[in-house]
Structure 1
Amino acid sequence: MNLTHLSKDTLVTVVNGQLPGPTIEVTDGDSVIIHVVNKSPYNVTIHWHGVKQRLNCWADGVPMITQCPILPNHNFTYRFNVTGQERTLWWHAHVPGLRATLHGAFIIRPRHGAGSYPFPKPHREVPIIIGEWWEMDLAQVATDLSNNSLFDFNSASTINGKLGDLYNCSGVAEDGFVLEVEPGKTYLLRLINAALLMEYYFKIAGHRFTVVASDANYVNPYDTDVIAIAPGETVDALLVADARPGKYYMVAFPYQAPKPSIQGPEYITRGMIQYSSGNGAPVLLSTSNGTTGEEEGGGPSADVPIAPEMPDHNDMVTSLYFRGNLTSLRRPQLPTLVDERLFITLALGSVCRRGRVCERGSTNDESITVATLNNVSFELPAAAETPLLESHYYNTGGVDVLRELPARPPKVFNFTDRDLIPYGPKEANLEPTSKATLARRFRHGAAVDVVFQSTSLMQSESNPMHLHGHDMFVLAQGLGIYDAAKDVARYNLVNPPVKNTVLVPSLGWAAVRFVADNPGVWFMHCHFEFHLSMGMAAVFIVEDGPTADTSLHPPPADFQTCGHDESLMLQKMGIDKRRVKSEDARS
């Protein structure tokens, strides 16, 4: 459908005519059935971001990893249970570019109602989705990123789909999101970062927040005036309407790594909160002039909202400090013995198109920049017809093309040397890399430690790393190069925050631990769209456990497949090939 912003009609793909898409509200313990009817011209899948999908990887929604894409004019039904989870998650398209407009909140309420929150029941709960407005074909944006033809930028930032009054056309300001509040009431803000490119700082003038959850896991209440939220993350925060009644701006401000990294446009967006009397009538103040707002810390005028003072757009410390103050409210069951340890570097590199030998940076455009994990860039198998999950479940050999994700990078260098950021001679010998269907296989129940190390190789961005099907214990984070000899001593083994998306700071590191106890084929990737499109991803394959309750369940009877081999014939006959093989072995 066409949406009009900045005096221009733009054709966008949306769900049910809405941007953001509809909020899906469920209760812990529910079974969920969602019918997706694809009337767009694009292949689509929907990922239920942060939903565990226990023993049901089939509903995870990643094209050619867990399912075939939903073709134009085709339908697909997702079926899954939501058990043992509460708070704020979200859903989004898991195809390149389209999640900028195909997304919405996914709220899981506690089984015993809001009265069971570990904090006073709020007067109202409000989803706040930070996003971006693009005046271009989002599928083309993804193609540009993956083919290195150019780097595109959005035209504005949004709060709940609205650009706000900082943007105008011919003197007419864009609409902004307005939240009406009553004096003395408490509001639960469910923040979601659905942006493709940027981490954001979020503030409301004259007010503070109490952060109570992140990525659908409760945290010890943390008082702050600024929230840092990266693409993929969610934050639940209480807001008390305890300021002098009037109007106050809420501002989302993008953070980016400082120069010499590429500097994108600073597209700030703002909405506002408006105090009301409870019957819908705004509370206005009498002032001497009625024309100007006061500075933050004072009170607002009758008509002009006050704006908060925001961090600098290159201020990385505020982001690091915010996350360093998050601790788990409920002591998690953290395994003390570790079975595997991975050290994964996050970088850019270069490969030659079509597998040819080429000269780096050659004028014939044969060299392409890619994003890597331990110097390998992810790509799906060429001409793949069967999703990896299907090949894994039926043991058809489709996973034979996988290359193992190395446990260590092939070269050790000064990972945070800022001289490696600009394109030039110094990083030339570190650039060459390769592309492969990158995977790592884990025994069921294995405890895995991963250190994600950001590098300065041709970039210095932070990296929000998202693991499907599992939560991660965030043990520690820091700037510079990870040093096990001293940094292990900093690990929080008592109440680490539990996350599905972990921000690895710019030119820094994050140490996480997870338990590979959910069998299936799970995507692990950076949630910045440009890094994902360029290959900063891998699949984590978790093997079945010893019992039916620890093994991946068969696909639903009506699960749409796109393979054409013996396993699918057996499936259609109601025969599980793995069971046949097991029975043959016993006999």
Structure 2
Amino acid sequence: MTTWSLRTAVPVVATTIFFFLSTMAIPAATAIVEHTFVVSQMNMMHLCKETLVTVVNGQLPGPTIEVTEGDSVAIHVVNKSPYNISIHWHGVKQRLNCWADGVPLVTQCPILPKQNFTYRFNVVGQEGTLWWHAHVPCLRATLHGAIVIRPRLGASSYPFPKPDSEVPVIIGDWWEMDLEEVDRKMKDNFFDYFPSASTINGKLGDLFNCSGVAEEGYVLDVEPGKTYLLRIINAALFSEYFLKIAGHRFTVVASDANYVSPYTTDIIVIAPGETVDALVVADAPPGKYYMVALPNQAPLPDTQTPEPATRGMVQYNNNNNRGAGNGATALRSRNHIEGGGGGDPSPTGDVPVAPVMPDQHDVVLSFYFHSNLTSLRHPRHPTPPVPIRVDEHLFITLGLGSVCRRGQYCNRTKENEAVLVATMNNVSFQLPTTPLLESHYYHIGVQDALLELPGKPPRAFDFTDQSLIPIGTKEKLLEPTSRATMVRWFRYGSVVEMVFQGTAILQGDSNPMHLHGHDMFVLAQGLGNFNAAKDMSRYNLVNPPLKNTVVVPNLGWVAIRFVANNPGVWFMHCHYEFHLSMGMAAVFVVEDGPTMETSLPPPPLDFPSCSHDNNLAPDEFYLQTPEIKVSRIDGV
């Protein structure tokens, strides 16, 4: 492994040329879409308890940003919360505009309380569903919303039948506790904090109740024979979800704002960070049908945690059931979903029909669902060809490990001697003290040494050996790891191939890996250990799906390829919040190309700057109140 520091030297480009460079580098927009996001706190009542939550414009979920491909977007963020805030525009490629990517201490300093900042970016060459969220640990549970990008030629140019209506469906979770406290406890290895409920579009649904009164659920009113485009987003912190609608089927047409070859299924499987666009035809007998979102989790010997399901309603809007609302539903136990909707044989009755859900531990369903995705080949929606030449190969293991709280050596069998971390190639990511994009752009040396992300793990072993999941002598040999600010540099235009390999060290979870600023060709995936000799022959080089978030299967692997053609500093991380907080992340730096059109322009004039007088530690940049600072726990 190589350690090195950012290059020192000097020239500071005058910011007066920013607008000239911006106009040269970024295509002209067809319109300007403008929003003001006021981030503040408000009390919300669920489960008989009033909870203080941080929201945008008093909404949960937050506002939907609707644009046409080619539009320019300006979001004025006014921070009236007690926390430092940044907003990430998840999946927006930010071509030549890394400054607007919204990752504290990677691309920017956060927006401090009582301060504001305007994010400006163009949405070019993308259509479909993306989303925005706070890139602050745990706060994205309540700070999130949809981004809908429509074709420039209108809905008639969709490569599928034009829907009668388009509906965002955001799956999330509800926390009855302070989210700052959740993040702090996770970093200190207290893992007894879990969401109290799952949500659909911010509503808990009738599997939950307050003193016997059912919680309000999301209701989608439909008309017989009409087609609905559901724009499904998983904004939850911890769980991949199964989604079903009783009596109906989905036709999947896009994922992560990339069209896919349509295929029909009765179940959607969606991990945190992913989006799925699916058509649903209201072709069932008029009545009420439950829409159920069920979290999945790895089976034993993995640790089992509370995973609450939720449900909303698809309700046919006709004379028989107009105005029935949610009042006719019968309460059930929180996690038990069964078919038949309470035994009413008639779908036109008042008791809704419920879908038969898969076993919560049937994680192979996720593998099959994601394996079915292939890119659509359509003359009006060309997909870039898969690059054949590969310049860099990386093999990245994903797992858990431990570092000593103080010093390099400790007794890991003793409580509080070591702290659990998440790793990539046995290194856990640690935030720098100066934003990496600023250091990179101005060639300013930073105090912290950077570690080059290793191209392979330090040792080979049976990565998916389930005997490594329980704590024991075998696992202890593989557990020691290190912390560092991990960076990997790529020349402009390099073709990078990565194999993400899940491991069984202390857990066998799947891992939704998100790359900022780029889409990835998903070449292949498999269960067990990657074997280059046989698995590379399975690569789909004809029509692999393009994704910004790829799901590494439970105890399995996925191979991706991308072109590093967007200069800047880009975060790559797991989208499970506990894995991100524990360090399953790295930074990819794409260097400038040879021309102005392939080089990163300077930052906006009003770009947030860090107050070096405050001398804040990295974690204090994430979550800070005026009275309390959250200190970093040092490892090795």
TM-score, reference length from structure 2: 0.85
The residue correspondences of 1:26-65 to structure 2 (distance < 5 A) are 26-65=67-106
How far 1:400 moved relative to its partner? 6.7
Query: Structure 1 stretch 331-340 or stretch 555-564: which is displaced more?
Result: 555-564
| 1:216-239, Cα deviation, whole Å (9 max, x unpaired) | 000000100000000000000000
How far 1:279 moved relative to its partner? 12
What residue is the counterpart of 2:503 in the other structure? Answer: 455
**Whole-Å separation in 2 of the counterparts to 1:326 and 1:332:** 16
What residue is the counterpart of 2:172 in the other structure? Answer: 131
What residue is the counterpart of 1:179 in the other structure? Answer: 220
| 1:112-149, Cα deviation, whole Å (9 max, x unpaired) | 11111111111100000000000000011111111213
**Whole-Å separation in 2 of the counterparts to 1:297 and 1:311:** 21
What residue is the counterpart of 1:276 in the other structure? Answer: 317
How far 1:301 moved relative to its partner? 4.1
Q: Find the partner of 2:361 among 306, 311, 314.
A: 314
**Whole-Å separation in 2 of the counterparts to 1:205 and 1:136:** 33
- Give the 3-state SS of the residue equivalent to 1:218 in structure 2: strand
User: Structure 1 unaligned runs (5+)?
Assistant: 285-291, 566-587
Residue 157 in 1 paired to residue 157 in 2? Answer: no
Structure 1 pair 420–107 and aligned structure 2 pair: CA distance change class (3 A)? same
Query: Structure 1 stretch 214-223 or stretch 300-309: which is displaced more?
Result: 300-309
**Whole-Å separation in 1 of the counterparts to 2:71 and 2:213:** 46
The residue correspondences of 1:544-563 to structure 2 (distance < 5 A) are 544-562=592-610
Residue 222 in 1 paired to residue 266 in 2? Answer: no
How far 1:367 moved relative to its partner? 0.5
**Whole-Å separation in 1 of the counterparts to 2:167 and 2:446:** 45
| 1:130-171, Cα deviation, whole Å (9 max, x unpaired) | 000000000111111112133411000000000000001211
How far 1:560 moved relative to its partner? 2.1
**Whole-Å separation in 1 of the counterparts to 2:186 and 2:145:** 24
Give the residue type in structure 2 aligned to 1:133: W
* 8 Å CA contact retained: 2:117, 2:606: no
* 8 Å CA contact retained: 1:296, 1:309: no
Give the residue type in structure 1 aligned to 2:520: M
**Whole-Å separation in 2 of the counterparts to 1:18 and 1:248:** 26
Residue 481 in 1 paired to residue 529 in 2? Answer: yes
**Whole-Å separation in 2 of the counterparts to 1:300 and 1:485:** 53
- Give the 3-state SS of the residue equivalent to 2:580 in structure 1: helix
What residue is the counterpart of 2:462 in the other structure? Answer: 414
How far 1:293 moved relative to its partner? 5.6
What residue is the counterpart of 1:368 in the other structure? Answer: 419
* 8 Å CA contact retained: 1:182, 1:278: no
Aligned residues: 554
How far 1:334 moved relative to its partner? 1.0
**Whole-Å separation in 2 of the counterparts to 1:149 and 1:57:** 35
How far 1:355 moved relative to its partner? 2.9
- Give the 3-state SS of the residue equivalent to 1:544 in structure 2: coil
- Give the 3-state SS of the residue equivalent to 1:430 in structure 2: coil
* 8 Å CA contact retained: 1:294, 1:301: no
What residue is the counterpart of 1:98 in the other structure? Answer: 139
**Whole-Å separation in 2 of the counterparts to 1:104 and 1:39:** 18
User: Structure 2 unaligned runs (5+)?
Assistant: 1-41, 326-338, 378-382, 614-636
- Give the 3-state SS of the residue equivalent to 2:587 in structure 1: strand
**Whole-Å separation in 1 of the counterparts to 2:409 and 2:246:** 56
| 1:253-310, Cα deviation, whole Å (9 max, x unpaired) | 00100111111113010001100139994699xxxxxxx9668996414100010001
- Give the 3-state SS of the residue equivalent to 1:426 in structure 2: helix
Query: How big is the alpha-carbon RMSD for the aligned residues of Structure 1 and Structure 2?
Result: 1.8
What residue is the counterpart of 1:235 in the other structure? Answer: 276
* 8 Å CA contact retained: 2:234, 2:274: yes
What residue is the counterpart of 1:323 in the other structure? Answer: 370
Higher normalized contact order (CA 8 Å, seq sep 6+, divided by chain length): 2
How far 1:399 moved relative to its partner? 8.3
**Whole-Å separation in 2 of the counterparts to 1:297 and 1:217:** 40
* 8 Å CA contact retained: 1:248, 1:274: yes
* 8 Å CA contact retained: 2:133, 2:144: yes
Structure 1 pair 278–55 and aligned structure 2 pair: CA distance change class (3 A)? farther
| 1:518-555, Cα deviation, whole Å (9 max, x unpaired) | 00000000000000000000000000000011111111
- Give the 3-state SS of the residue equivalent to 2:566 in structure 1: coil
Instruction: Using the aligned pairs only, state the percent identity.
Output: 71
How far 1:99 moved relative to its partner? 0.3
**Whole-Å separation in 1 of the counterparts to 2:310 and 2:203:** 9
Give the residue type in structure 2 aligned to 1:4: M
What residue is the counterpart of 1:434 in the other structure? Answer: 482
**Whole-Å separation in 1 of the counterparts to 2:341 and 2:512:** 37
| 1:58-115, Cα deviation, whole Å (9 max, x unpaired) | 0000001000011111111101111101100000000001000000001111111111
| 1:372-399, Cα deviation, whole Å (9 max, x unpaired) | 0000000012xx1x31100000001128
- Give the 3-state SS of the residue equivalent to 1:323 in structure 2: helix
**Whole-Å separation in 2 of the counterparts to 1:26 and 1:171:** 42
What residue is the counterpart of 1:208 in the other structure? Answer: 249
| 1:552-574, Cα deviation, whole Å (9 max, x unpaired) | 11111221222779xxxxxxxxx
**Whole-Å separation in 1 of the counterparts to 2:256 and 2:143:** 19
Structure 1 pair 443–459 and aligned structure 2 pair: CA distance change class (3 A)? same
* 8 Å CA contact retained: 2:163, 2:227: yes
What residue is the counterpart of 2:442 in the other structure? Answer: 394
**Whole-Å separation in 2 of the counterparts to 1:560 and 1:466:** 25
- Give the 3-state SS of the residue equivalent to 1:539 in structure 2: strand
Q: Find the partner of 2:285 among 244, 252, 262.
A: 244
What residue is the counterpart of 2:19 in the other structure? Answer: none
* 8 Å CA contact retained: 2:342, 2:351: no
What residue is the counterpart of 1:532 in the other structure? Answer: 580
Structure 1 pair 166–295 and aligned structure 2 pair: CA distance change class (3 A)? closer
How far 1:507 moved relative to its partner? 0.2
What residue is the counterpart of 2:543 in the other structure? Answer: 495
Q: Find the partner of 2:514 among 466, 472, 475.
A: 466
How far 1:42 moved relative to its partner? 0.8
**Whole-Å separation in 2 of the counterparts to 1:298 and 1:240:** 22
Q: Find the partner of 1:82 among 112, 123, 127.
A: 123
**Whole-Å separation in 2 of the counterparts to 1:43 and 1:57:** 20
TM-score, reference length from structure 1: 0.92
What residue is the counterpart of 2:22 in the other structure? Answer: none
Residue 11 in 1 paired to residue 52 in 2? Answer: yes
* 8 Å CA contact retained: 2:468, 2:475: yes
What residue is the counterpart of 1:199 in the other structure? Answer: 240
Give the residue type in structure 2 aligned to 1:263: Q
Q: Find the partner of 2:429 among 360, 364, 378.
A: 378
Structure 1 pair 559–399 and aligned structure 2 pair: CA distance change class (3 A)? same
Structure 1 pair 359–73 and aligned structure 2 pair: CA distance change class (3 A)? same
Structure 1 pair 73–169 and aligned structure 2 pair: CA distance change class (3 A)? same
What residue is the counterpart of 1:258 in the other structure? Answer: 299
How far 1:366 moved relative to its partner? 2.0
